[in-house]
Structure 1
Amino acid sequence: MLDLLEFFAAHGKPASLAEISQHFGWPRSSTFNLLSTLGARGYLFEPEGRGRFYPTPRWLAIAHTISAAEPIPDTLVRLAGDLNERTGETVCVGAASGGNVIFLEVVQSKARVRYAAEVGQRIPLHATASGQAIMSQWPGRQRTALLRKVEFERYGPGTPMSVEAVEDQIRAGLFRGWFRSASNYSQDLGGVSLPISISERVFSLTVAGPLNRIEVRMPEIAKLMHATVAQHFGPRYLGNEIKGLTTPPLDVI
């Protein structure tokens, strides 16, 4: 069913049973059963009346209901948009989901060459600036329990390859006042991340882009992020709400 939804999203037009069956290599009988069930439940209709199917707005209504029950705080959405305008790079808001960070909000850079992140994208907690920012706010026992389950894999030259290496990068990030990634997970991608705590939920706020463009700007971007967070949440926020994080002078606005 998820494959079918992604198929319609990619094609953007109605499709027949034969087209869907052929595209996925599904048996026609199984494809017919799936389309019939979704149609009977109000999730598909035939806009042309010729046996060509397309999703109904019911999917969107359900998605809105789910989102409204646990929304991303409006302040974070505005903050992400503000940082996108100020840095010119892609800005992502993430939260922990199992052993990964899942992006809940993405504001794409307008640059031709950019980090093309997507809402719903998952990246590993231990290997990324976004994940380490979130884990820095966890109790040590919680962090240790997760890291013991990690199967360390070399994604790039910056990937931490042991529990100790992850802990070292987290300590360095807290002392520095921001978390960095330089080909840690995606080759030639760089990122700067801060943890954001709202109503006992910890999010990551990340500015990311091509490493050859962003690496020399990391300290500048980090100061800009601190200053922008102070504008949206108040100047005392990072010192009061984020455990252990060094706060640089807010002199860049």
Structure 2
Amino acid sequence: MDVKTAGRVFDLFEVFAALKRPATLSELSREMEIPVSSCFNLLRTIENRGYLYSVKPRGSLYPTKRILEVARVIAANDPIAARISPLLQALRDASEETIVFAKRRGLHVVYLDVLESPHRIRYSAQIGEIREMYSNSIGKAIMSHLPLDERHALYGQMSMTKHTPATLTTKRELDADIEKSIRRGWFSNVGETVSDVMSIAVPVNVGGDICGISLVGPIHRMKPKLQQHIELIQKAAKAVEAAVGEAH
């Protein structure tokens, strides 16, 4: 269950990121869809902690750099990310497509790292995005490591909404796709979430936790280089597991 106040703190900073400018109390209240009184109390608390400042007296507010400094310290001391990020960057540079690193969160996967393709036309995503497992290549890769009875029980909890004509919407279709992918050694999402986007993924053991890496791009660019991309992502997964193993 979400804690409402904690959620609003994150909503606030996401609103500033979307607006890309200072905002007034009334604007923030409207964007966050909360009462002005609740928004005022939230802003005053965060301002008192040094994370917001007034651009002018009784005017607009904007985040200070404190949140950036805190995030930098946290990121700089992440023992896993420090070893994984250079390997993901190398995979992005070699493939020239977007790379996503994610782990399971209930019936979903959460994106822990995203390195976007240098191409103008590319798949774009944000760190922290949450996607449904059944229509996500990393989700399938993670499910492949679950005991069969646990995986089948998981299917029954999924909504399996049809996002595109290619979305797999039955337990039988999804299970057949995962079993086929286990045999060939990689998992895919060919237009199941976005019609013209394709991703391939492999599972990766990160300190005993099964996560996943995916390589994502437009179908027209992915398919001609599919075998090359498969080899690159499989090699990267082995390198990640080796690097994480050294960290432990």
TM-score relative to the length of structure 2: 0.83
How far is 1:201 from its partner?
0.8
Identity across matched positions, percent: 30
How far is 1:26 from its partner?
5.1
Partner of 2:215: 207
Mark the CA change 1:46 to 1:142 in structure 2 (over 3 Å): closer, same or farther.
Answer: same
Gaps in structure 1 of 5+ consecutive residues:
238-253
Cα distance in structure 2, aligned partners of 1:232 and 1:199: 11
How far is 1:5 from its partner?
1.3
Equivalent position SS for 1:192: strand
Q: How does 1:9-88 map to 2 (within 5 A)?
A: 9-21=17-29, 23=31, 27-60=35-68, 63=71, 72-88=80-96
Equivalent position SS for 2:193: coil
How far is 1:174 from its partner?
1.1
Partner of 2:147: 139
- 2:114 matched to 1:100? no
Task: Give the number of the structure whose residues are more often helix, by fraction.
Answer: 2
> Which is further off, 55-64 or 101-110?
55-64
What amino acid does structure 1 have at the position aligned with 2:164? G
Would you say how many aligned residue pairs link Structure 1 and Structure 2? Answer: 235
Q: How does 1:52-201 map to 2 (within 5 A)?
A: 52-60=60-68, 63=71, 72-201=80-209
Equivalent position SS for 2:183: helix
1:41-67 alpha-carbon deviations (Å, 9 max, x no partner)? 433222544533222344345546766
1:147-190 alpha-carbon deviations (Å, 9 max, x no partner)? 11012211123321211211111111111111111111222110
Equivalent position SS for 1:126: helix
After superposition, the CA RMSD in angstroms is 2.6
Cα distance in structure 1, aligned partners of 2:30 and 2:105: 35
Equivalent position SS for 1:39: helix
Mark the CA change 1:73 to 1:137 in structure 2 (over 3 Å): closer, same or farther.
Answer: farther
> Which is further off, 166-175 or 12-21?
12-21
What amino acid does structure 2 have at the position aligned with 1:113? I
Cα distance in structure 1, aligned partners of 2:175 and 2:77: 34
Gaps in structure 2 of 5+ consecutive residues:
1-7
- Indicate if the aligned counterparts of 1:72 and 1:104 stay in contact, CA closer than 8 A: no
How far is 1:202 from its partner?
0.9
Cα distance in structure 2, aligned partners of 1:7 and 1:19: 10
Equivalent position SS for 2:117: coil
Cα distance in structure 2, aligned partners of 1:137 and 1:4: 37
Cα distance in structure 2, aligned partners of 1:69 and 1:231: 21
How far is 1:38 from its partner?
2.2
Mark the CA change 1:48 to 1:71 in structure 2 (over 3 Å): closer, same or farther.
Answer: farther
> Which is further off, 27-36 or 158-167?
27-36
How far is 1:203 from its partner?
1.1
